[in-house]
Amino acid sequence: MADKKALNVEDAFKKIISHCKEYGFIFPSSEIYDGLSAVYDYGPYGVELKNNIKTYWWKAMVQMHENIVGLDSAIFMHPKVWKASGHVDAFNDPLIDNRDSKRRYRADNLIEDYMVKLDDKANKEVEKAAKRFGDAFDAALYRETNPRVAEILRKRQEISERYQLAMNNNDLVEVKQIIIDLEIADPDTGSKNWTDVRQFNLMFSTQYGALAGENEADNRIYLRPETAQGIFVNFLNVQKSTRQKLPFGIAQIGKAFRNEIVARQFIFRMREFEQMEMQYFIRPGEEKKWYAYWKEARMQWHRTLFPENKVKFHDHEKLAHYADAACDIEFQFPFGFKELEGIHSRTNFDLGSHQELSGKKMQYFDPELDESYVPYVVETSVGVDRMFLATLSYALQDEEVPDAKGGVAVRTVLKIPAILAPIKAAILPLVAKDELTEKARHLFHQLKLVTQCQYDEKDSIGRRYRRQDAIGTPYCITVDFETLEDECVTIRDRDSLAQVRLPIAEVANYLNKHISFSTLLG
C-alpha cells in the first residue's frame, strides 16, 4: 500500500514535469548538453504564466497598497552588503552524505522530515478517534490525555528542543548524533551509513571587473542569494524620493541564486530562481502587530488561488540569523506540504548592520514621535517558481467528459484562474474554409488588442479544444457558418464546458469582465 502511494506521488509529479515539457511551459536548461542540474528555462506558455503570476502579486502588493512602492535593484552588489547581512558568515546549510548511496542531503531536512512524520502519526490517531467518538469529541483534550498520542507528541517535543539547541549552537556533531539516535535512513535507499555533518555556504561567487585572476580575494563578488538586501540598502533613497511615512513597504521581483545542496525537485529547489519580496518598515515595538497582519494578508492572497486545505502555516523550528519570528506558508505539492512563502520578522538587524559597516545613517525621522530610529522590518518572501509549480500541480487534471458520440472521453485540462492563464482566448474557425478563416482572423486581430489570444485552424475542432484545455485557455471562441449570417460566435468555457452565443460586438467586453484582476482581488 505504502509503495503504491509512493508510486502515485511520483507518477503525479512526473506527469507535471512531462506536461511542462510537452506543452512548452518548462525545459531543462542546456538540454542538448544533458541539462544543468537545478536550472530550467521557461518556454512560450511558461513565460506567460510566470509573468501573470508576477503581475498578480505586484498588483496585490503595490497597486492595492498606497504605502507600498516598487524597486528593481541590481543583482550585483558591493561585497560588503553580504558581510553586513550575515550571509558570508552564516548563510550555510548543514550537509551530510550517505557513504553507500553517495547521495547528499541536508541534515536539517532529514530531522525536520522525521518530525513531520511524528506529527502525521499523531494527527492520524486523532482523526481515527474523531470518527469513533463523533460530535462530542474534544481533539485538544484527546491529544493531552490519550497515552499513545501524548507519547508521540512528547517524543516530538524532545527532538525539536534538542534539534533547535544543536542548530543554534552550530553543533554539527550533535546534529549527526540526532540522526544516528533517531535511526534516520537514506530516504532513497534505507542505508544508515552517514558521513559527518559539514556546513556549506550557499552563495555563488564570481570575479568582478578586469582584475579577475590577479587579485581574486579582493575582486570576489556574489550573486545575490535574496533580493531583500537591494531593498535595505535603498531604504532611504526610496523613502526620501517618495516621501513615505512609516509604516511603508518596498516590493521587488527578481532573480536570486543559491548553490543548493540537494536539487532534485524540478523547479521547487533551483540554483537560479526568482523571488517576490516585500520589506515592510515599521516602528520598533510594532513588529508583533505587523507580523500578524502580513501573515494573514499573505494567506488571504494564496486563498484567492487555492482552496483552504491546500495551504497552511508552519512555524519555523530554527530561526534564521536575522529573525525574531518566522513562519512559512506551505502548499500541498505532489510530494507533500512544503514551503511556498516565508514571512519573517527581521527586527532592525539588516538596517542596523548596514549602518554599522557602511558608517552611513540608516535612520528614519519620525515626525509624530519627534525622534530618529532604525526601523524594524517584516518581510514577505515568495518564490515565483514555487508559485508556478503550486499553480500547475493544483490545476492539472485528467477529467472525464462526454464525447461527441455520447460516450465518455478523458481530457487533460489545466484549470488555472483566467487571470493567470497564458492564453486567455483561442479564436477557432469551425473548419478551415476561407469564409470562416477570414472572419475568425479578423476577430483575432480585434481581440489581440484586448488580451493574449491565439488563432488556430489546424486539425478538428475537438482536437483544438483539447490543445487549449491542456494549456489552460479559459475561453475558446468558435466562428461557424451561422456567424456569417448573424454576426454571433460561440464561447466555450474551459471548466464547465458550457457554451454561450454572443454577438461579436460584445466579445471584448465579455472577456474583459472575466479576465479582470477584480474577479480575484476585488
The residues of the shown chain that bind ligand ATP, judged by CB under 6 A, are 258, 260, 269-270, 273, 275, 339-342, 381-383, 385-386
Is the Cβ of residue 85 or residue 483 nearer to ligand ATP in the bound state?
85
CB 337 → ligand ATP: shortest distance, Å? 12
Provide the strand spans (E) within 117-159.
none
CB 268 → ligand ATP: shortest distance, Å? 6
Element (H, E) at 233: helix 228-233
- 509 grid coordinates: 467586453
CB 144 → ligand ATP: shortest distance, Å? 31
Burial 128-140 (b: 16+ CB within 10 A, else e): ebeeeeeeeeeee
Is the Cβ of residue 273 or residue 290 nearer to ligand ATP in the bound state?
273
Is the Cβ of residue 113 or residue 366 nearer to ligand ATP in the bound state?
113
Is the Cβ of residue 339 or residue 366 nearer to ligand ATP in the bound state?
339
Q: How far apart are CA 476 and CA 492, in angstroms?
A: 5
Provide the strand spans (E) within 224-271.
248-257
**Helix %, strand %, coil % of the chain (to 5):** 45, 25, 30
The DSSP call for residue 15 is H
CB 226 → ligand ATP: shortest distance, Å? 6
Burial of residue 312 (CB within 10 Å: 0-12, 13-18, 19+) is middle
Is the Cβ of residue 273 or residue 376 nearer to ligand ATP in the bound state?
273
CB 92 → ligand ATP: shortest distance, Å? 11
- Answer yes or no: are the C-beta atoms of 144 and 150 closer than 8 Å: yes
Is the Cβ of residue 340 or residue 423 nearer to ligand ATP in the bound state?
340
CB 257 → ligand ATP: shortest distance, Å? 9
- 464 grid coordinates: 483544438
CB 375 → ligand ATP: shortest distance, Å? 20
Is the Cβ of residue 346 or residue 424 nearer to ligand ATP in the bound state?
346
CB 353 → ligand ATP: shortest distance, Å? 17
Residue showing the smallest CB distance to ligand ATP in the complex: 383
78 Cβ contact list (under 8 Å, min separation 6) = 221
Pairing, β 425-429 against β 453-455: parallel
Angle, CA 451 vertex, CA 445 and CA 457 arms, to 5°: 50
Element (H, E) at 366: strand 364-366
Closest listed residue to residue 130, CA positions, set 140, 118, 120: 140
Is the Cβ of residue 57 or residue 281 nearer to ligand ATP in the bound state?
57
Closest listed residue to residue 388, CA positions, set 360, 411, 420: 420
Angle, CA 87 vertex, CA 83 and CA 88 arms, to 5°: 60
Is the Cβ of residue 383 or residue 429 nearer to ligand ATP in the bound state?
383
CB 206 → ligand ATP: shortest distance, Å? 18
Is the Cβ of residue 28 or residue 474 nearer to ligand ATP in the bound state?
28
Q: How far, in Å, are 85, 149, 319, 399 from residue 275 at the CA level?
A: 18, 39, 20, 33
Element (H, E) at 434: helix 434-447
Q: How far apart are CA 124 and CA 458, in angstroms?
A: 52
Is the Cβ of residue 254 or residue 472 nearer to ligand ATP in the bound state?
254
Taking the CA atoms of residue 430, residue 433, residue 434 and residue 437 in that order, the dihedral angle to the nearest 10 degrees is: 20
CB 270 → ligand ATP: shortest distance, Å? 4
CB 251 → ligand ATP: shortest distance, Å? 14
